[in-house]
């Protein structure tokens, strides 16, 4: 096991004493080191009789003996408090060796233990994570070290578990948005579920916007999936012109509506899906609210899928929390109520579509949104369903497109009355969407431009925290990379880049993610100083268990060139498969991927030896000289770290079930992490292109039959360590059965390897 602490804030000795005293640990620095240790242990909520100090003495025997306190003994005891098992996990005589091996935060061990040194060491240990996934201080507070008094208490500038989750207020309001997506002559109402602790003052808000929250229409989604087995279409030549569109908001008169009695909601709920990170903050004095926006169950409107109207349905809730919009007690709008319990500070959280809406909301610059935690979010919907002029499905979902996702998330149809009243009009809108997104050409157009948040990044005022998996080929790393690059210099930004796929990381054993976000949100949303010294990028190393590194940049400034072959060296691949093989691959893209990576599918395989340690940071560029015997074609490319060795899984492994307490016996969470396993290869990056768009996204050129072309293709950004002796395998091919349309025409591709090369960005 390796501990990676980014949440621990350096404090002066006086500040450490003050923090400890607030928890009931009142030390007298004039005491001996051993007496100081005893004071800590006798105050802590622990069974001291279960602890050993040395291989000969229990802690009780040690405290009563003349044996002097050493750092070996101090950390032997501390490791047991951190849930490591003496004799089995570590040897009592080698506690320091083990502590260093697991990267436990340590004080300066060069000095003999004194009372002051021991107090500082205690402070660090209490901020350290236990093996079971909670910091020691959080575990002790959850065990009753502090009372549940519904008031804020802080340790190391993080809010502690002192809010009673057994007395949560759960209420529903309907916020009036500024849009009318059905053209009914009235503003769409947005259903909002609120969960908040009881508190005499005003609470900050953790908001998750999820169009899935009130249900999904899986049958409609499946029925809408597109056929991928179609031929590539040759596109008319020319340059595309993209017009800007601005949302014109309707201006309806506001009718006079009476206030709710005592400003109280009348609709309540018991339990729905909640994000465990939000649950963590509930117990620490933050309200948790969920909003699904337009076109979802119990809200008004149509599903507009990522455009300004859907975003406006989200930001309207932030406006209401800040007194700039109205909310009603029910859909009939009989009474209005205000968020008199909210302090106006909002953070947005969530993964995938949830992180997408956080990105979109941030680019409006809405006042009151102080920070977003965007996890695997989409920043351009075109880049989710298209790539370089080519229809491309997100990883694992062949045949999906934005109209399919609209069917999934238009959950109003799950209520029969809503279906009868609105489905005919919705189906017309859906047909218009299917036409506008243009699967025939795969081109970028005004429809996609209206769902691209990158051009509006200069309007961001909130701090931006990005979480993204470098093995995420559903929402690819390009979304995080391009948003990072597009943000103006004045915006504070940080990124957590892990080696997983499309997953959450807040319950991992090796990373104090929740505690780090606690320190950040406690400062930003509670008007406290941000004392956390967080690096720009926290990157999880590939091929190493539970190891994270601080980096300063995303995208290297230097480049290494790797030729693909010798002068005059040629290779080729075909596009067409026999009917039986084509059918097999169409039914199982996993079978295709296995054959592709092992050189059994139609592809050119180029193995390049890595002669020295190399870190790729950014987008690898392919510069290829190729020709094909047709006037249209697909270029697909993947880079592998090829050869058997230990590599990380891309989905987390269950280490222990229901061991992380998000409050006090509240919403238990599993302990998980990526683990090392034997793997024959690792995908590093991939990319796809319609060869008619080889010059730019908005320029459509001819592909001359049987003429050499120079083609540049930027692959998905990544950060990846190659080690001397590794083999970099480049796989070049045409149809990809997971991602692209399944073009099975008889097309042959030829490559001049001597005139082709890789450009690897480094720093």
Residues 313 and 214 in one domain: yes
Residues 241 and 180 in one domain: yes
Look at residue 150 and tell me whether its pLDDT is greater than 90. yes
CA–CA gap between residue 249 and residue 257 (Å, rounded): 22
Look at residue 760 and tell me whether its pLDDT is greater than 90. yes
Within a domain: 508:
no
Nearest to 687 by CA among 722, 649, 718: 718
Res 385: pLDDT: 98
Residues 63 and 140 in one domain: yes
DSSP states along 283-309: TTT-EEEEE--TTSTTS-S---TTSHH
pLDDT (tens digit, 9 = 90+) per residue, 75-108?
999 999 999 999 999 999 999 999 999 999 999 9
Res 30: pLDDT: 86
Nearest to 565 by CA among 700, 365, 758: 758
Cβ-based burial of 466 (10 A; exposed 0-12, middle 13-18, buried ≥19): buried
DSSP states along 324-377: SS-EESSTT---EE--TTEEEEEEE--BTHHHHHHHHHHTTT-TTEEEEEEES-
pTM: 0.96
* Residue 28 domain boundaries: 13-155
Res 481: pLDDT: 98
pLDDT (tens digit, 9 = 90+) per residue, 127-142?
999 999 999 999 999 9
Helix (H) or strand (E) holding 484: helix 478-486
pLDDT (tens digit, 9 = 90+) per residue, 713-728?
999 999 999 999 999 9
Residues 617 and 717 in one domain: yes
Q: Alpha carbon of 316 to those of 193, 206, 214, 323, 453: distances in Å?
A: 14, 15, 18, 10, 18
Cβ-based burial of 183 (10 A; exposed 0-12, middle 13-18, buried ≥19): exposed
For helices 71-81 and 33-43, the axis angle rounded to 10 degrees is 10
Res 271: pLDDT: 81
The structure tokens listed for 557 are 């400034």
CB 470 within 8 A of CB 719: yes
3-state secondary structure at position 287: strand
CA–CA gap between residue 135 and residue 176 (Å, rounded): 41
Q: Can you tell me the mean pLDDT for 688-701?
A: 97
For helices 115-126 and 33-43, the axis angle rounded to 10 degrees is 30
DSSP states along 688-725: EEEGGGSSBTTEE----TT--EEEEEEPPPEEEEE-TT
CA–CA gap between residue 358 and residue 355 (Å, rounded): 5
CA–CA gap between residue 279 and residue 170 (Å, rounded): 13
Residues 243 and 144 in one domain: no
Within a domain: 317:
yes
Task: Find the CATH number of the domain harbouring 235.
Answer: 3.40.50
Q: Can you tell me the mean pLDDT for 413-427?
A: 95
CA–CA gap between residue 726 and residue 713 (Å, rounded): 23
CB 322 within 8 A of CB 204: no
Kindly report the average pLDDT of the chain as a whole number.
96
Q: Can you tell me the mean pLDDT for 729-735?
A: 98
Q: What is the gyration radius of the CA atoms in the chain, in angstroms?
A: 29
CA–CA gap between residue 118 and residue 29 (Å, rounded): 10
Res 244: pLDDT: 82
Within a domain: 102:
yes
Within a domain: 584:
yes
The structure tokens listed for 590 are 């996993």
Task: Find the CATH number of the domain harbouring 747.
Answer: 2.60.120.260
Look at residue 243 and tell me whether its pLDDT is greater than 90. no
Look at residue 316 and tell me whether its pLDDT is greater than 90. yes
Residue 753 gets which letter from DSSP?
A: G
Residues 623 and 716 in one domain: yes
CA–CA gap between residue 143 and residue 55 (Å, rounded): 29
Q: Can you tell me the mean pLDDT for 391-399?
A: 96
Residues 265 and 411 in one domain: yes
Within a domain: 549:
no
Domain stop point among 406, 428, 462: 462
Residues 47 and 21 in one domain: yes
| C-beta contacts of 80-83 below 8 A and 24+ residues apart | 80/50, 80/51, 80/52, 81/44, 81/46, 81/51, 81/125, 81/130, 81/136, 82/125, 82/128, 82/129, 82/130, 82/131, 82/136, 83/130, 83/131, 83/132
3-state secondary structure at position 414: helix
**Any bridge partners for residue 449, and if so which?**
none
Residues 366 and 221 in one domain: yes
Within a domain: 530:
no
Look at residue 246 and tell me whether its pLDDT is greater than 90. no
The structure tokens listed for 312 are 């406006």
**Any bridge partners for residue 142, and if so which?**
none
CA–CA gap between residue 688 and residue 749 (Å, rounded): 15
Within a domain: 301:
yes
Residues 438 and 309 in one domain: yes
Residues 268 and 125 in one domain: no
Helix (H) or strand (E) holding 122: helix 115-126
Res 28: pLDDT: 87
The structure tokens listed for 228 are 């991928």
pLDDT (tens digit, 9 = 90+) per residue, 506-546?
999 999 999 999 999 999 999 999 999 999 999 999 999 99
Percent of the chain with pLDDT over 90: 96
Nearest to 510 by CA among 746, 316, 631, 675: 675
Sign of CA dihedral 35, 37, 40, 44: negative
CB 240 within 8 A of CB 698: yes
Domain stop point among 462, 478, 510: 462
Res 29: pLDDT: 80
Residues 6+ apart with CB under 8 A from 96: 71, 72, 75, 109
CB 711 within 8 A of CB 689: yes
Beta-carbon-side half-sphere exposure of residue 241 (alpha carbons within 13 Å):
1
Nearest to 199 by CA among 385, 343, 316, 410: 343
The structure tokens listed for 641 are 């770290």
Residues 141 and 237 in one domain: no
pLDDT (tens digit, 9 = 90+) per residue, 458-509?
999 999 999 999 999 999 999 999 999 999 999 999 999 999 999 999 999 9
Domain stop point among 395, 430, 462: 462
CA–CA gap between residue 163 and residue 142 (Å, rounded): 11
Instruction: Please report, for the chain, how many H helices and E strands are present, in that order.
Output: 19, 32
Cβ-based burial of 368 (10 A; exposed 0-12, middle 13-18, buried ≥19): buried
CB 118 within 8 A of CB 69: yes
Look at residue 272 and tell me whether its pLDDT is greater than 90. no
Nearest to 143 by CA among 757, 501, 727, 665: 665
Look at residue 665 and tell me whether its pLDDT is greater than 90. no
Q: If you search the block for the tokens 């609120």, which residue do you land on?
A: 194
What φ, ψ does residue 656 adopt, rounded to 5°?
-155, 135
Cβ-based burial of 332 (10 A; exposed 0-12, middle 13-18, buried ≥19): exposed
pLDDT (tens digit, 9 = 90+) per residue, 21-46?
999 999 988 899 999 999 999 999 99
Q: Can you tell me the mean pLDDT for 570-596?
A: 97
Q: If you search the block for the tokens 């999880």, which residue do you land on?
A: 540
Within a domain: 91:
yes
Res 534: pLDDT: 97
pLDDT (tens digit, 9 = 90+) per residue, 429-459?
999 999 999 999 999 999 999 999 999 999 9
Number of structural domains the chain divides into: 3
CA–CA gap between residue 384 and residue 413 (Å, rounded): 25
Q: Can you tell me the mean pLDDT for 748-759?
A: 98
List, by residue number, the catalytic residues: 352, 472, 502
3-state secondary structure at position 623: strand
CA–CA gap between residue 97 and residue 273 (Å, rounded): 43
CA–CA gap between residue 317 and residue 331 (Å, rounded): 15
Q: Can you tell me the mean pLDDT for 360-382?
A: 98
């Amino acid at each position: 096991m390796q501990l990676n602490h980014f949440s621990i804030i350096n404090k002066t000795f006086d500040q450490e004493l003050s923090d400890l005293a607030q928890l009931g640990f009142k030390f007298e620095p004039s005491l001996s080191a051993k007496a100081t240790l005893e004071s800590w242990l006798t105050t802590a909520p622990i069974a001291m009789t279960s602890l050993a100090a040395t291989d000969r003495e229990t802690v009780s025997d040690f405290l009563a003996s003349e044996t002097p306190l050493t750092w070996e003994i101090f950390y032997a005891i501390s490791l047991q408090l951190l849930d490591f098992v003496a004799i089995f996990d570590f040897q009592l005589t080698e506690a320091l060796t083990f502590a260093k091996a697991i990267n436990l935060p340590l004080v300066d061990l060069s000095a003999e233990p004194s009372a002051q040194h021991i107090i500082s060491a205690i402070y660090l240990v209490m901020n350290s994570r236990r093996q079971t996934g909670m910091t020691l201080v959080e575990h002790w507070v959850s065990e009753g070290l502090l009372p549940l008094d519904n008031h804020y208490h802080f340790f190391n500038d993080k809010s502690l578990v002192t809010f009673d989750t057994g007395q949560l207020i759960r209420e529903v309001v309907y916020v009036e948005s500024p849009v009318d997506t059905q053209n009914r002559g009235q503003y769409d109402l947005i259903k909002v579920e609120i969960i908040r602790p009881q508190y005499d003052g005003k609470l900050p808000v953790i908001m998750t916007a999820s169009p899935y929250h009130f249900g999904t229409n899986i049958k409609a989604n499946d029925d809408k999936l597109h056929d991928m087995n179609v031929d590539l279409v040759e596109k008319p030549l020319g340059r595309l012109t993209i017009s800007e569109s601005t949302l014109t908001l309707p201006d309806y008169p506001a009718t006079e509506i009476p206030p709710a009695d005592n400003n109280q909601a009348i609709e309540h709920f018991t339990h729905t899906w909640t994000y465990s990170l939000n649950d963590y903050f509930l117990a620490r004095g933050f309200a948790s609210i969920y909003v699904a926006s337009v076109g979802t169950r119990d809200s008004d409107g149509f599903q507009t899928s990522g455009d300004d109207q859907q975003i406006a349905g989200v930001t309207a809730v932030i406006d209401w929390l800040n007194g700039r919009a109205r909310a009603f007690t029910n859909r009939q709008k009989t009474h209005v109520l205000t968020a008199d319990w909210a302090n106006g500070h909002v953070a947005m959280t969530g993964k995938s579509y949830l992180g997408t809406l956080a990105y979109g909301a941030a680019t409006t610059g809405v006042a009151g949104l102080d920070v977003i935690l965007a996890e695997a979010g989409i920043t351009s919907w075109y880049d989710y369903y298209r790539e370089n002029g080519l229809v491309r499905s997100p990883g694992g979902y062949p045949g999906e497109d934005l109209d399919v996702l609209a069917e999934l998330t238009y959950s109003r149809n799950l209520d029969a009355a809503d279906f009868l009243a609105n489905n005919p009009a919705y189906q017309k809108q859906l047909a218009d969407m299917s036409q506008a997104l243009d699967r025939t050409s795969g081109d970028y157009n005004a429809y996609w431009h209206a769902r691209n948040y990158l051009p509006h990044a200069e309007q961001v005022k909130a701090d931006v925290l990005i979480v993204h998996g470098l093995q995420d080929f559903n929402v690819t790393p390009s979304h995080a990379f391009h948003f990072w690059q597009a943000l103006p210099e004045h915006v504070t930004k940080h990124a957590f880049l892990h080696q997983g796929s499309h997953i959450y990381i807040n319950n991992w054993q090796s990373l104090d993610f929740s505690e780090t976000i606690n320190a950040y949100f406690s400062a930003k949303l509670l008007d406290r100083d941000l004392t956390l010294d967080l690096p720009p990028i926290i990157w999880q190393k590939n091929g190493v268990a539970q190891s994270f590194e601080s980096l300063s940049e995303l995208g290297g400034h230097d480049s290494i060139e790797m030729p693909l072959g010798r002068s005059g060296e040629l290779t080729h691949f075909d596009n067409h498969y026999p009917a039986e093989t084509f059918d097999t691959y169409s039914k199982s893209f996993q079978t295709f991927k296995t054959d592709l990576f092992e050189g059994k599918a139609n592809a050119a395989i180029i193995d390049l030896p890595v002669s020295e340690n190399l870190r790729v940071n950014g987008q690898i560029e392919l510069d290829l000289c190729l020709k094909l015997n047709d006037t249209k074609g697909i270029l697909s490319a993947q880079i592998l770290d090829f050869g058997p060795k230990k590599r990380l899984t891309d989905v987390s492994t269950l280490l222990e079930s229901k061991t992380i307490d998000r409050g006090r016996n509240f919403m238990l969470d599993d302990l998980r992490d990526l683990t090392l396993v034997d793997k024959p290869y690792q995908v590093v990056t991939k990319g796809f292109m319609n060869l008619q768009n080889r010059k730019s996204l908005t320029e459509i050129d001819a592909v001359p039959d049987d003429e050499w072309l120079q083609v540049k293709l930027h692959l998905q950004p990544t950060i990846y360590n190659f080690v001397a002796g590794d083999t970099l395998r480049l796989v070049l091919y045409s149809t990809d059965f997971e991602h692209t349309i399944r073009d099975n025409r008889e097309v042959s591709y030829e490559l001049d390897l001597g005139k082709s090369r890789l450009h690897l960005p480094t720093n």
